[in-house]
Amino acid sequence: MGDEARPILVVGSVALDAVHTPTESASEVLGGAASYFCLSASMFAPVRLVAVVGEDFPAEHRRLLESRSIDLAGLQMRPGKTFRWTARYSGVRLENRETLDTQLNVFADFHPVLPDAYRDSKVVFLANIQPELQLEVLEQVPEAEFIACDTMKLWLDTARPGLERLFKRVDCVMVNDEEAVQFSGQRFLPAAAHVILSYGPRVVIIKRGENGSLLFTRDRVFLAPAHPLEAVRDPTGAGDAFAGALLGAVARAGHGGDDVLRRGMLYGSVLGSLAVEDFSVRRIVEADMSDIEVRLSNLVDMISLDGTRSK
């Protein structure tokens, strides 16, 4: 992590997950979009976390976050239980997900209040919480220079006006392919991206899982492949780990230029591939920057016409 990297502000969920696959399960493990984002982004830059947990949040999870250059001054602890999410994956590549249980608990009444020290944040990520809460955050970061947001199908179904207001105020919108099609009403991703761009963001990134991701601006497109994997244990959090690496690249470079975003997407492919190799955040935590750079080099070599890796 570079000493000059700007701190990244992330606002989102920290949860306790239970995940089931056809062959194995894990319960009460660290989850939530902000957790995956933080642990990925902290490879590149300091992170400022704004979230809420209950009194039952395990001390070892807090210690893990603290150990990774993640500032927890914005992590509220409230009476009650932590947000819990239970899901089952199925299919040959665990491509099908069924949510079995969602218990919002203390997250149900969450309103993000930034510590004063966070209000000068220049790089901001709004994880997939309610659009109105995302907009509340924007009122508290007047000096932000690069703002990215994520969303999910629930808010497309129930809070579209808020999303439209949000998209007018951010630099980068991240959605998956199904969300892009649903929001835009367009069947094909380039057309869908240009509908989203018409609301005001400079960049739209469409995540496509094992098929990689696409970056759209008004006049350019960049395709980042997914890193091929021999096995997947838990698909949870791959998109959030991707976002953490992307914003980490922006924070480390000090700007969100096209070249930085392109490299950031490749880092995102690497961190996303790590995330799914084990349950929860375990594989991200095990990796270090040398592991990431080796996997990035391998990925670049895979897509180069002449091969770039040193022999």
* pLDDT tens-digit series, residues 60-100: 999 999 999 899 999 999 999 999 999 999 999 999 999 99
Give me the half-sphere count of Cα atoms (radius 13 Å) on the Cβ side of residue 200: 12
Q: For the residues of 179-218, what is the DSSP string, one character each?
A: HHHHHH--SSHHHHHHHHHTTS-SEEEEE-GGG-EEEE-S
Model confidence at 311, pLDDT cuts 50, 70, 90, reads: very low
Mean pLDDT of 176-181: 98
CB 152 within 8 A of CB 179: yes
| CB-count exposure of residue 133 (10 Å: 0-12, 13-18, 19+) | middle
In the numeric block, which tokens belong to residue 181? 């099609």
State percent of the chain over pLDDT 90: 95
Q: Which domains does the chain have, with CATH numbers?
A: 8-303 (3.40.1190.20)
Backbone angles phi, psi at 172, to 5 degrees: -140, 125
Mean pLDDT of 170-174: 99
pTM of this structure: 0.96
When the pLDDT of each residue in the chain is averaged and rounded to a whole number, the result is 96
Q: Which amino acid is at 29?
A: V
Mean pLDDT of 128-136: 97
Distance CA 98, CA 118 (A): 36
